[in-house]
């Protein structure tokens, strides 16, 4: 059974749209240059500006998890928590979409299946967590499909798990990694003139739940070089996702 989400090109919204990388659209490119993780940048700034005797307290403060804010959609029947400094972006193609204002490739969104195309009774309608993971990865790769010459994608399913949350419902969690490679000169005639380089390397984390005969998917995207630093916070976001019965 295929996941009944509409096929969209997302996760790579241009900077001018203040969006990411989801649910957007064409040209899967990311900002060039060297990005210093926010917490490391903060620590560096503090080391240059603050006296030595307050550095330890400031460094400890910089390592604290960000404040999480709850988003509740009572109309569509779901809720989750997200970093309070993330901004909402409209017109991104998802039911809801927030992104980090500093790391443009880091974002969160929710997709809901159409009740007219399929009716879900439980997340187990997708099969086992491993089977669901394969469907999630296939969906991502379909959305990232590119017509550019010389583009190659490498993907791996990193983990697939299931859990029963405090609301008594079963949720699947899927983590995948996708890398995008492209030739620096796709129109070159000689092979030695077409040098392959990595465009982006990202972690995708999905949480799947079923309610109201619909499949809900919380999606988190984060660059791999940021994931290690923020994984504890991102897992809190994943664990906060709930699907709720819509009042008749």
Per-residue pLDDT tens digits for 152-172: 899 999 999 999 999 999 999
Among 35-49, 58-72, 111-125, 233-247, whose mean pLDDT is lowest? 35-49
Residues 58 and 128 in one domain: no
Q: Could you say which of 21, 43, 64 is where a domain stops?
A: 64
Cα dihedral 48, 50, 55, 57, rounded to 10, equals -140
Residues 103 and 198 in one domain: yes
> Is 234 in a helix, a strand, or coil?
helix
Residues 60 and 133 in one domain: no
Which pLDDT belongs to residue 148? 76
CATH code at position 216: 3.40.1000.10
The residues with which 182 forms a beta bridge, in sequence order, are 197
The pLDDT of 101-117, averaged and rounded, is: 93
pLDDT range class, residue 238, cuts 50, 70, 90: very high
Q: Could you say which of 15, 42, 64 is where a domain stops?
A: 64
What domain count does the chain have? Answer: 2
Which backbone phi and psi does 30 adopt, to 5 degrees?
A: -120, 165
Q: Could you say which of 44, 64, 84 is where a domain stops?
A: 64
Task: Establish if 147 belongs to a structural domain.
Answer: yes
Task: Establish if 7 belongs to a structural domain.
Answer: no
Do residues 113 and 5 lie in contact, with contact meaning Cβ atoms separated by under 8 Å? yes
Distance CA 99, CA 82 (A): 10
Tokens of 60: 């400890």
Distance CA 227, CA 221 (A): 9
Task: Establish if 16 belongs to a structural domain.
Answer: no
Do residues 215 and 113 lie in contact, with contact meaning Cβ atoms separated by under 8 Å? yes
Burial class (CB in 10 A: 0-12, 13-18, 19+), 52: exposed
Domain carrying residue 49: 34-64
Per-residue pLDDT tens digits for 114-144: 988 889 999 999 999 999 999 999 999 999 8
What are the angstrom distances between the C-alpha of 55 and each of 36, 40, 44, 58? Answer: 19, 13, 10, 5
């Amino acid at each position: 059974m295929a996941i009944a989400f509409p096929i969209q090109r997302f996760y790579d919204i241009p900077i001018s749209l203040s969006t990411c990388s989801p649910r957007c659209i064409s040209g899967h490119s990311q900002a060039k240059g060297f990005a210093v993780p926010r917490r490391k940048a903060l620590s560096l700034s503090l080391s240059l500006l603050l006296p030595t005797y307050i550095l330890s307290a400031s460094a400890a403060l910089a390592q604290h998890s960000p404040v999480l804010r709850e988003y509740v959609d009572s109309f569509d029947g779901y809720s989750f928590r997200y970093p309070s400094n993330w901004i909402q972006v409209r017109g991104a193609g998802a039911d809801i979409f927030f992104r980090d204002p500093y790391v443009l490739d880091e974002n969160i969104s929710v997709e809901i299946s159409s009740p007219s195309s399929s009716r879900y009774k439980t997340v187990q309608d997708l099969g086992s967590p491993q089977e669901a993971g394969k469907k999630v990865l296939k969906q991502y790769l379909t959305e990232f499909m590119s017509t550019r010459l010389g583009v190659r994608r490498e993907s791996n399913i990193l983990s697939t798990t299931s859990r029963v949350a405090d609301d008594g419902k079963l949720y699947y969690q899927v983590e995948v990694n996708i890398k995008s490679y492209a030739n620096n000169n796709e129109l070159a005639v000689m092979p030695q003139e077409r040098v392959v380089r990595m465009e982006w390397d990202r972690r995708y984390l999905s949480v799947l739940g079923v309610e109201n005969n619909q499949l809900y998917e919380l999606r988190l995207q984060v660059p791999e070089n940021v994931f290690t630093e923020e994984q504890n916070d991102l897992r809190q976001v994943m664990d906060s996702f709930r699907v709720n019965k819509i009042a008749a």
